[in-house]
Amino acid sequence: ERARDYLHKTGRFIVIGGIVSPVHDSYGKTGLVSSRHRLTMCQLAVQSSDWIRVDPWECYQDTWQTTCSVLEHHRDLMKRVTGCILSNVNTPSITPVIGQPQNESSQNFYQNNNNVSSKPTAAKILGKVGESLSRICCVRPPMERFTFVDENANLGTVMRYEEIELRILLLCGSDLLESFCIPGLWNEADMEVIVGEFGIVVVPRDGADPERIMNHSSILRKYKNNILVVKDDSNHPMSVVSSTKSRLALQHGDGHVVDYLCQPVIDYILKSQLYINASG
C-alpha cells in the first residue's frame, strides 16, 4: 500500500492493481513450505484488499521460473486479455494501444473464453478494458480519470483511449536489489530485461542505501532512471515487512508476529503447524 501511495505521489502513475506471485516449490530455498500453503496464506493476507490479488501461475508450472519469465508472462497475458500494447520504461508507445485488431491466435487463459469483436466501438472498449483489468487486478481502474471518445470525434484536450498505456513494474525490497550486484547470481540478459524494459520499485530495508547499491552494478547504473525508491515518511517503517522476521517470530513464540502478519494468516499457520520447530 505504501509503495502504491508513493507511486501516486510522483504523479507519473495510477496503480490499478498488484499481483503477488509465490515462487515455485523447486526454487530450493531452505525452509520453503509447499506452494499449497503459501498460496493460501497469501490469499488470506490480501482477502480484504480490493486491488491486490494472488496469482498461482508461477506455482503451477512444471519447474521454477525466473523473475524475468514471470514478468513476461504477466505482460503477455495482460496484452492478450486487454488488447493493449504494454509500453516499457524506455520507449513509451505512440501507437494505438486499445482496440487494435489482434493478429495472434486466440488462446485460453485460466479457462477464460471471452470473444471480442475485432473492431470494437469506444463503448465496447471501455467495458472490455474495465472488465479485463478488474479480473486481472481485482479492481476496476478509476475510469472517470479518462475520457473515452469515438476515434472520429473532435478530441480537443481530452485523452484518446488509444493513448492509455499499461506497465508492469517489479516491487521488491532493497535486499533483492542488492543481490543484483552478486557476480553470477543473476543472468545478465535477464537483468537487462527486468530493469531496462520493466523497471523496479524498491522498498528500502534495514537501513540499506539503494543509491549505494545501484552504484555497485553497471546494469543498475545504466538503468538508474528506471528504479524508483519508495520514500517512507510514516511512523511504521516498511523495513519491518519481512517474511524472515515473521518466520523467526513464529519459531520463537514471539508475540510481535502480529506486527508482521494478519490474524487469519497466523491462525492458518498455527492450524497447519508451519514454521514451528520441535521445541515450539
Domains of the chain: 3-84+167-240 (3.40.50.620)
Task: Name the most confidently modeled range: 82-96, 121-135, 232-246.
Answer: 232-246
pLDDT at position 157, please? Answer: 42
- Assess whether pLDDT exceeds 70 at residue 105: no
C-alpha cell at 6: 508513493
Mean pLDDT on 11-22: 89
pLDDT at position 164, please? Answer: 58
What residue type is assigned to position 211 of the chain? E
Lowest mean pLDDT among 30-34, 59-63, 77-81, 150-154: 150-154
Q: Judge contact between 201 and 3, C-beta under 8 A.
A: yes
pLDDT in tens, 158-185: 444 445 577 899 999 898 999 999 999 9
Give the DSSP H or E segment for 3. Answer: helix 2-10
pLDDT at position 239, please? Answer: 62
Which of 244, 170, 198 has its CA nearest to residue 19? 170
- Assess whether pLDDT exceeds 50 at residue 107: no
pLDDT at position 272, please? Answer: 94
Task: Give, in degrees to the nearest 5, the angle at Cα 87 between 205 and 217.
Answer: 40
Mean pLDDT on 50-79: 91
Confidence of residue 35 (pLDDT cuts 50, 70, 90): very high
Give the contacts of 275 (CB within 8 A, at least 6 positions apart).
Answer: 31, 33, 247, 250, 251, 269
What residue type is assigned to position 107 of the chain? Q
Confidence of residue 23 (pLDDT cuts 50, 70, 90): very high
This prediction has a pTM of 0.73
Mean pLDDT of the chain: 75
Confidence of residue 247 (pLDDT cuts 50, 70, 90): confident
- Assess whether pLDDT exceeds 80 at residue 103: no
- Assess whether pLDDT exceeds 90 at residue 232: no
